[in-house]
Amino acid sequence: MCFNKLTDLRIAKNRIGGSIPPEIGNVKGLLGLDLSSNHLIVQIPKEFGKLTSLIRLLVQNNSISGNIPGEFVSLAKLESLDLSDNRLNGLIPTCIGDFVHLFQLNLSNNKFGENIPIEIGKMTQLNVLDLSHNLLVGDIPPSVG
């Protein structure tokens, strides 16, 4: 991609299929990325971790599978993250607690398993937390209360 000045990319509610090109990570000034309600069927590219200016990431209502990439730890400025209604699985990564600016986190309707990480309690700006319709077990961490 050669959109060096692009700050907001919205391609929601189309019939875009296939994969997300790894070159998306080259758009360094991107603040908002909305790929929701398409037909994306692969894993979240690790190149998303290069989008260190990103504030809003919306990829809900696709068929994305796999884990949340470890490279997400680089997205420290995120305020809104919606990965709901996909086929994501594995554990909710503990690095999720590093998103201290996050006020909305929606991971509902996936296949995340195991416990809710206690690190979620570090997200003091969080207004909306939706983990419904997953395969989570165990107790609600005290840090959530």
Any idea what DSSP says for residue 24? G
Which sign, positive or negative, has the C-alpha torsion 38, 51, 76, 101? negative
pTM, entire model: 0.93
- Kindly compute the dihedral angle of the four CA atoms of residues 8, 99, 77, 71, in this order, to the nearest 10 degrees: -70
In tens, the pLDDT along 44-96 reads: 999 999 999 999 999 999 999 999 998 999 999 999 999 999 999 999 999 99
Superfamily of domain 8-144 in the CATH hierarchy: Ribonuclease Inhibitor (3.80.10.10)
pLDDT at 2: 64
Q: What percent of the chain has pLDDT over 90?
A: 82
Kindly list the distances between the CA atom of residue 89 and the CA atoms of 52, 75, 85, 108, 120, in Å, as whole numbers in the listed order.
24, 20, 12, 11, 18
